[in-house]
Structure formats: C-alpha cells, structure tokens
C-alpha cells in the first residue's frame, strides 16, 4: 500500500493523532531515503496502533530497502497476521526469506505470490533461485525461463539461468558417467566438457577414444575436425572431415565446413564440390552460398557465382553477409565488363557497411 493510501485509511479510522504524525514523518523520511529515521517513526506508529496491518507493511518495505531481511520478515509477517488477504506482500516476504537462506519459507510465500498473480515475474525469478539453491535444476530452469519472458535482458536473471543450465548439464553428465563410465558417449561428454573449457588437446583425445569404441558413430570425427580447424591444423582437419563424411555423407553442415577447410588449403575445385553438395542438401545455408560464390569467382565460373551471391542478397541473411555478397558481386560484374552493375553493388556494399 502506498503512503497516500495508508494516510487516507488512518484518517478514516480517526486514530490517536500521534499515529498520523509518526506515519507522516516515517513516510517523509522514507521518501527522502532517510531509512533509519523512517524505521523509528513507523515503529512508534505501530506501537500506538498495533492492529493496523498497513503500518507493518510499510515498516517491512523500509526494512527491505535497508536489506535488513530479518526485521523485514518480522514486520511483513505481522502485517499478514493482521490482514491475511493483504496483496503484494508474499513475493517480498519470499525474497526476504531467500536472503536469509530459509528456503522452505521462501518457497511457501513465493508459490502463494504466484497463486495471487501468475504473471508475477519477480516471484518466478526468486522461486527459480530457491529451486537452484535446492538443487532442483529442472524446476529452476522452468521458473527462470518464465521470468525471462518479461525480463529478457535482465543480467541477473540471465546469469542465474545460465547457472541453472550449467548445473543441470553437469548433473546429467555425471549420471551418464556413473551409468556407463567407459562408453563412447561418456568419452564424448568428457570431450565436450573439455572443449567448452578450452582444453582442446584433451577434448580431441576423448573424442578419439569414443571413435575407437564406436567407429560408425556420427558426429565424432566432425567434432575433432572443428577443433583442429579452429586451432589452425587444417591438414589434420581435412582428414577428420573426410572421415566424418564417410559416416554421414548427407550431412550438409559437415560438407560446408569441409568445403571451407579445403578453400583455406587452396583446393578450390574440391571446395566447390563440397560447398555445392551442402547447398543442394540444405538451401538455407546462406554462408555456404556466399562462400560457394567466392570460390566460383576464383575459378572464373561467373554465371553460377552470380546465382549463388544473389541468393544471399535475397535471403534474410545478416547485414554482414549481405554486404560481403554485394562486394563479391561488384568484383564479379567488373570481371564481366558491366561497370554500372559493379558500381551499384559497390554503393550497396558501402551503405550496409556504414550502418
């Protein structure tokens, strides 16, 4: 309840005039951020009018602002005892209990707050934190994702949501390692964990253990190839991509990544084969169309290059990809002796780069 509404309620009830005096002074102090003074005044009002729930509510709000969680709890609980139907109390009370690590009372109050208002994003957020502390990671993720619908850019919420996903993943990974410690999947899980933490050598070793156990498992050699390519070991990456395609010949993304490595190795003709295969399987691979266009220009195959690059421009690709496509088309039209079209794409390239 706002201070104005509290004053109106007290005036209607015609209490001891000293109550109004202390409440006015307390609310003024709170408004001026003199929180210690606000506490003193509202405590005096509560002593004089111990049956007015709204005084305890406002006292609890001041304690909450002071981060005096225990005294906030005491005041808010007093408000609810006097008026159980008082709205807008349960979520703050749940948060205050969370701050003193009383998780059971925090959960109880936050669940009641969501019963009162299912769209209370703060209550969902704080209940997610309770579940996170309790090790109930699936529930934490659900609650935090619900809150994120209303607060998609809240850094605190996103931090705890990431933590919930990390811990859920770690818990599931441990279940895998316990259930099948020597399996290919266990080695893959260990490899992914090592790769995530920047331990490339360990990750490759674990992936190779998985491949030795199950040579026909898709994704293993491709993952090794990604790590090798990212670390500049292109010859080794080429071999790993070749092995992956032997297992999964219709994987468009593997063909695309293989084509990129081949192009970096100067093997343009082979790169074109695999980039062409990638876009034939999956037309939505805009990056592959762009790189295919570049390779075709290098090989002097300008008409098919033009087709690939126009597909990029006509797609919903990023500004960066479209600007690169315009630049490549400008190069292509200069080679074809079409200066007006070259100038047009140069202008469009500059416009996009200037955004």
Q: Give the per-residue pLDDT at 11.
A: 53
Q: Give the per-residue pLDDT at 5.
A: 55
Q: Give the per-residue pLDDT at 354.
A: 76
Q: Give the per-residue pLDDT at 19.
A: 86
Phi (first) and psi of residue 188, to 5 degrees: -65, -40
pTM here is: 0.73
Q: Give the per-residue pLDDT at 62.
A: 96
Q: Give the per-residue pLDDT at 10.
A: 58
Q: Give the per-residue pLDDT at 87.
A: 85
Dist CA 230 CA 128 (whole Å): 37
Q: Give the per-residue pLDDT at 1.
A: 47
Q: Give the per-residue pLDDT at 16.
A: 76
Residue ranges of domains in the chain, CATH in brackets:
3-171 (1.25.40.10)
- Name the stretches of the chain with pLDDT < 50: 1, 14
């Amino acid at each position: 309840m706002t201070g104005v509404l509290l004053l109106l309620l007290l005036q209607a009830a015609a209490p001891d005039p000293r109550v109004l005096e202390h409440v006015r002074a307390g609310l003024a102090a709170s408004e001026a951020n003199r929180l210690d003074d606000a506490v003193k005044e509202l405590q005096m009002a509560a002593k004089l009018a111990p049956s007015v729930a709204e005084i305890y509510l406002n006292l609890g709000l001041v304690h909450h602002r002071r981060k005096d969680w225990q005294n906030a709890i005491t005041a808010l609980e007093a408000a609810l005892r006097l008026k159980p139907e008082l709205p807008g109390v349960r979520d703050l009370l749940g948060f205050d209990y969370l701050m003193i690590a009383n998780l059971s009372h925090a959960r109880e109050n936050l669940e009641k707050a969501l019963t009162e208002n299912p769209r209370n994003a703060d209550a969902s957020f704080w209940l997610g934190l309770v579940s996170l502390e309790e090790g109930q990671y699936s529930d934490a993720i659900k609650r935090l994702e619900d809150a994120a619908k209303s607060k998609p850019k809240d850094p605190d919420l996103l931090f705890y949501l990431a933590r919930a996903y990390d811990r859920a993943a770690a818990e599931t990974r441990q279940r895998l390692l316990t259930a099948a410690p020597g399996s290919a999947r266990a080695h893959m899980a260990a490899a992914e964990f090592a790769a995530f933490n920047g331990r490339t050598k360990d990750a490759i070793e674990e992936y190779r253990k998985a491949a030795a156990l199950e040579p026909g498992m898709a994704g293993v050699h491709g993952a090794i190839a990604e790590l090798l390519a990212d670390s500049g070991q292109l010859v080794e990456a080429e071999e790993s991509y070749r092995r992956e395609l032997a297992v999964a010949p219709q994987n468009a993304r593997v063909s695309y990544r293989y084509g990129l490595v081949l192009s970096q190795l100067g093997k343009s003709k082979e790169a074109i084969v695999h980039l062409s295969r990638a876009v034939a399987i999956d037309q939505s691979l805009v990056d592959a169309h762009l790189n295919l266009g570049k390779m075709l220009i290098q090989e002097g195959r300008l008409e098919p290059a033009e087709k690939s690059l126009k597909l990029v421009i006509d797609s919903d690709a990023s500004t960066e990809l479209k600007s690169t496509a315009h630049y490549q088309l400008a190069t292509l039209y200069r080679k074809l002796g079409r200066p007006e079209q070259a100038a047009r794409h140069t202008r469009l390239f500059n416009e996009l780069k200037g955004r």
